[in-house]
Amino acid sequence: MALNFYWYPKCGTCRKAKKWLEDHNVEFNEIHIVENPPNKEELESIYKKSGLELKKFFNTSGQKYRELGLKDKLASMSEDEMIQLLASEGMLIKRPLTVGNEHATVGFKEEQFSETWQK
């Protein structure tokens, strides 16, 4: 099965991750994270597959994150509120978001991609 690769084409990290997937012949579906962000149910599933804390899904260096003052608000938000917020705005999600049947990765680290996606 092909991976779902949520990315933003202007993001340099996303382009590096895409190149890595192509260079390693990993099948994937490209999904523009702003035009088609994952919905609440998809995000809940991705979050469970990732094994990460939910706050790791936020693009903390993004303009939208700063505009909304999320640095101070996240600690008091419930998981459900955080997932709802992420689903409402693709630019809040740390990218790329790469999702398979059993695993999900957030961001791009070559070592992590090798361990997770190279079969």
- Domain residue ranges in the chain: 3-117
β-strand pairing of 97-99 with 28-32:
unpaired
Q: Which whole-number Å values give the CA distances from 69 to 34, 73, 113, in the listed order?
A: 20, 7, 31
CB-side exposure of 97: number of CA atoms within 13 Å?
Answer: 28
Q: How confident is the model at residue 119 (pLDDT cuts 50, 70, 90)?
A: confident
CATH number for domain 3-117, candidates 3.40.980.10, 3.40.30.10, 3.40.50.10540, 3.30.70.270 = 3.40.30.10
Each residue of 74-96: pLDDT tens digit?
A: 999 999 999 999 999 999 999 99
Q: pLDDT tens for residues 35-55?
A: 999 999 999 999 999 999 999
